[in-house]
């Protein structure tokens, strides 16, 4: 390369626009999902432009492109809501989390490529992230139950369905809860409960308030107990251990459902939070339920 060419290249770099100092990255909480499961995209913007960047004044500053690896089109149902003030000072990194599941129907098992595009109104530049690949895996329904829900103070009525779904995720069986209208026209939530052991089948019952009660074994002597609302909200999560008796679902007070047998063990992952706390004096970690998952917040109630 000649001296003149080298000088021209240096001048180009020095006078290049701020895109060279502002970068966009995209990642996801995991690589494998089932259809309709909550899929949070983490869009990270790193700002070394020398000024504070402001985003979120409209709903067009952040867009996504979703393509299937085998070439078929991905149906879009609306646009993610990304409006809201989002300020990134110089020499800082900001992250906006967006749930893509309600807007991009990745139903067919396979690999999907996703790209985030950010438009900076201040610099009039379009910034793109590298493509990230996620996988939709095959799943099997283990159990389902239809139930009715009254709406608008009893003026209307609709039928919904609870489903327990099993999938092989990264060589580990995983259990999911799905809440949707019976005709699948609306999915309220799909979330992972956690690992599924080969011994012991999950117990599921629906109470008179149309809430799902789930008791599921995840260890040699440990069980998860969950309560899910008709809207897909996880309202209770407790841990029970096998003692002289095995925990099981049984009628409780006011014809409701409760866990009988075993012993409840307070854990850091309890919902509502346990009144008891534990501090390890030997410096080791406090035992927790490995099923803790932010995706258990209902799809139609999650913030972007």
Whether the CB-CB separation of 273 and 258 falls below 8 Å is answered with no
Is the pLDDT assigned to residue 1 strictly greater than 50? no
| pLDDT tens-digit map of 210-236 | 999 999 999 999 999 999 999 999 999
Instruction: Kindly provide the residue ranges of all beta strands, DSSP E only, lying in 56-186, ordered along the sequence.
Output: 62-68, 75-76, 86-88, 92-99, 104-105, 110-120, 125-128, 132-136, 139-151, 156-169, 172-181
Residue 24: name the closest of 57, 70, 55, 66 by CA. Answer: 55
Instruction: Kindly provide the residue ranges of all beta strands, DSSP E only, lying in 218-302, ordered along the sequence.
Output: 222-228, 234-241, 248-251, 257-260, 263-264
pLDDT of residue 61: 95
Is the pLDDT assigned to residue 87 strictly greater than 80? yes
Determine what percent of the chain is predicted with pLDDT higher than 70: 84
| pLDDT tens-digit map of 17-36 | 444 689 999 999 999 999 99
User: In which residue ranges of the chain is CATH 2.60.40.2970 found?
Assistant: 3-136
| pLDDT tens-digit map of 112-139 | 999 999 999 888 889 999 999 999 999 9
pLDDT of residue 293: 43
**Cα within 13 Å of Cα(43), Cβ side:** 25
Cα distances from 60 to residues 19, 81, 130, 136, 287, in angstroms, run: 18, 9, 19, 27, 44
Residue 151: name the closest of 186, 112, 199, 189 by CA. Answer: 186
pLDDT of residue 151: 79
Give the architecture-level CATH label for domain 3-136: Sandwich (2.60)
Rounded to two decimals, the pTM is: 0.78
Kindly give, in sequence order, each residue whose CB lies less than 8 Å from that of residue 197, ignoring residues fewer than 6 positions away.
Answer: 173, 217, 218, 219
Q: What DSSP designation does 255 have?
A: G
Q: How far apart are CA 47 and CA 118, in angstroms?
A: 13
pLDDT of residue 199: 83
Q: What DSSP designation does 294 have?
A: G
């Amino acid at each position: 390369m000649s001296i003149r060419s080298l000088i021209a290249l240096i001048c180009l770099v020095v006078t290049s626009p701020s895109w060279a100092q502002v970068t966009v990255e995209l990642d996801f909480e995991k690589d494998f999902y089932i259809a309709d499961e909550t899929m949070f995209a983490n869009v990270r913007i790193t700002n070394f432009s020398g000024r504070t960047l402001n985003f979120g004044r409209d709903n067009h500053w952040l867009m996504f492109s979703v393509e299937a690896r085998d070439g078929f089109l991905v149906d879009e149902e609306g646009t993610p809501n990304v409006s809201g003030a989002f300020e990134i000072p110089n020499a800082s990194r900001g992250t906006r989390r967006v749930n893509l599941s309600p807007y991009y129907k990745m139903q067919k098992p396979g690999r999907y490529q996703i790209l985030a595009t950010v438009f900076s109104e201040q610099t009039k530049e379009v910034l793109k992230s590298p493509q990230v690949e996620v996988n939709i895996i095959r799943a099997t329904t283990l159990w389902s139950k239809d139930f009715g829900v009254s709406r608008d103070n009893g003026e209307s009525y609709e039928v919904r369905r609870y489903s327990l779904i099993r999938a092989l995720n990264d060589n580990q069986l995983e259990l999911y809860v799905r809440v949707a209208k019976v005709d699948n026209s609306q999915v309220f939530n799909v979330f992972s409960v956690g690992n599924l052991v080969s011994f012991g089948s999950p117990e599921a019952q629906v109470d008179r308030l149309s809430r799902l009660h789930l008791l599921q074994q995840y260890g040699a002597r440990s069980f998860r107990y969950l309560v899910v609302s008709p809207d897909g909200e996880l309202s209770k999560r407790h841990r029970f251990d096998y003692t002289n008796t095995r925990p099981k679902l049984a009628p409780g007070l006011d014809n409701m459902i409760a866990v009988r047998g075993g012993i409840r063990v307070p854990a850091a992952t309890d919902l509502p939070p346990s009144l008891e706390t534990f501090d390890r004096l030997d410096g080791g970690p406090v035992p927790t339920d490995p099923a803790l998952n932010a995706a258990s917040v209902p799809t139609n109630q999650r913030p972007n």
